Structure 1
């Protein structure tokens, strides 16, 4: 059993590996997590929830208003970005509690990350309601400002998430059995999402600057599956480790399941990468 005493002080008690047979309802565990959270964590959880609900609300807008699901101008973008950024913010707020970094540093990084998520989703949603592309759109001064702010925000996201990824490898994360493996692989796969996102932006900007605006909008399609699959490993794998901590399974069984889950997730990312290479 991993040493509970190594866990950074201030982490909610329900996140500690107290006993593998914690059979409390999930709603109770979430409620305890909220009660024990610091103000900055509560802000991030609330912000992530609002962003997720915003994405789901735009799914209803799409159902009513219709229009294309694909393409640079569609309701798909506020839906997918709202849900993805919301879930990622909630996941990062939770999983970084297992990282061995200073509390003040973590709080600052999380608040900046939350603000950046709001900027990204807000800009994309605004442009969707204006019926114009959000990314790579240089048609007017305002559109250029929105597009550039999204690009800068993306750069900030890369820096912040890279800091958390490095922290997960510099010092052994705490948590229940399998959490260390889940966190390190989750962040490693997340770096693939950041790299693919940066590649999409870079290629699109180059095509836009050289006068190939329409090609720029469609150039990101091959990398989208890779970006989407790799983005949420940092949520799926730690969530699996936490769920297994609530079972009576042995540590050996849980470690084996986690290694299998990591292998399956890595295979899915590799397949998306191969598809991107073939169709790019």
Structure 2
């Protein structure tokens, strides 16, 4: 049993990784469909929805798979939370994609019994996502001395932002269901998504902030400097979130909510992916080799026991 458990842990990580890549492939496929078939970008029936949900949930599943290894969680709890998040992400994206191919709205649609079941299932999936994110946030707020302070702050701020994103999504769903229950489905389609920009800009902080902390550890910045930079980034990010949320709440957007949400998510994800790509670049790897034990003493905070924030360490942390 003892020897078999690490094998099961590896399998538990491989399934979410495969699911995340599948969701990204779905987003790419439906981008091609949109280009070939055409159709509106905004509105309750659009190829935009399987594209944006596939991309966002694909990135989110991969991100949660990574950060789960950095949080002080028991192995079985980690596997349970990661499995629930992955299943809910697949459910949400799958049902939205199904409804897009059927040519009907995915949310707030009770025209038929089947559509009603889909709408309720999407709400249940959302509840599952909220519960998992709250559990991960609570874990991040617990003391974790094996992780560098800069990474701890990045994880906590990112997960708190993700909790806010889930809360914004819950508000939109509750508002839309209230309108739909009152027989105002058309109004629900038009106005229930008013917080989509805020939902999008807060969703991927959990990738952006830890990715920056990880990159800073890869380029051997002293821990005090890393912590200071993460604090500045968190403060700047919080200001952007406050601005976007306030503008969304009063209906001030330069474009439609869907377009603004897509741009907000892209602005968040792009630098995070760039950080990860740069961290894996030959230049950074060469810099790491110059600080190996055979060359010189590592910079403070960069040795493996206290880093616990790199992609190469995450798979063993807490296992």
Q: Name 1:163's counterpart in structure 2.
A: 135
Q: Does 1:139 align with 2:111?
A: yes
Residues 147-166 of structure 1, C-alpha deviation per residue, up to 9 Å, x if partnerless?
11001110111111111111
Q: Does 1:244 align with 2:207?
A: no
Q: Partners of 2:97 and 2:157 in 1: how far apart?
A: 31
Q: How much does 1:220 deviate? A: 2.6
Q: How much does 1:248 deviate? A: 2.9
Residues 93-142 of structure 1, C-alpha deviation per residue, up to 9 Å, x if partnerless?
10111111100111011112111111111000000011100011001111
Q: Partners of 2:149 and 2:132 in 1: how far apart?
A: 26
Q: Partners of 2:21 and 2:215 in 1: how far apart?
A: 21
Q: Name 1:16's counterpart in structure 2.
A: none
Aligned residue runs from structure 1 range 183-202, under 5 A: 183-202=155-174
- Residues matched between the structures, number: 247
SS at match of 1:245: helix
Q: Does 1:84 align with 2:18?
A: no
Q: Hey, which bits of structure 1, 4+ residues long, moved more than 6 A?
A: none
TM-score by length of 2: 0.74
Q: Name 2:200's counterpart in structure 1.
A: 228
Residues 197-248 of structure 1, C-alpha deviation per residue, up to 9 Å, x if partnerless?
0000000000001111111011233200000010111111111111111113
Aligned pair partner of 1:217 in 156, 174, 189: 189
Q: How much does 1:252 deviate? A: 2.3
Q: Contact conserved, 2:109 with 2:116, CA < 8 A, in 1?
A: yes
Q: Partners of 2:147 and 2:56 in 1: how far apart?
A: 25
Q: How much does 1:177 deviate? A: 5.2
Structure 2 runs not aligned, ≥5 long: 1-6, 253-319
The structure number with the bigger radius of gyration is 2
Q: Partners of 2:189 and 2:145 in 1: how far apart?
A: 40
Q: Partners of 1:99 and 1:180 in 2: how far apart?
A: 9
250-259 or 180-189: which moved more? 250-259
205-214 or 218-227: which moved more? 218-227
TM-score by length of 1: 0.84
Residues 236-266 of structure 1, C-alpha deviation per residue, up to 9 Å, x if partnerless?
1111111111113222221121111111211
Structure 1 runs not aligned, ≥5 long: 1-34
Q: How much does 1:176 deviate? A: 4.2
Q: Partners of 2:157 and 2:50 in 1: how far apart?
A: 28
Report the aligned-residue RMSD.
Answer: 1.8
Name the CA shift for 1:97/1:79 in 2 (closer, same or farther; >3 Å). Answer: same
Q: Contact conserved, 1:98 with 1:174, CA < 8 A, in 2?
A: no
Q: Contact conserved, 1:176 with 1:241, CA < 8 A, in 2?
A: no
Q: Partners of 1:276 and 1:84 in 2: how far apart?
A: 20
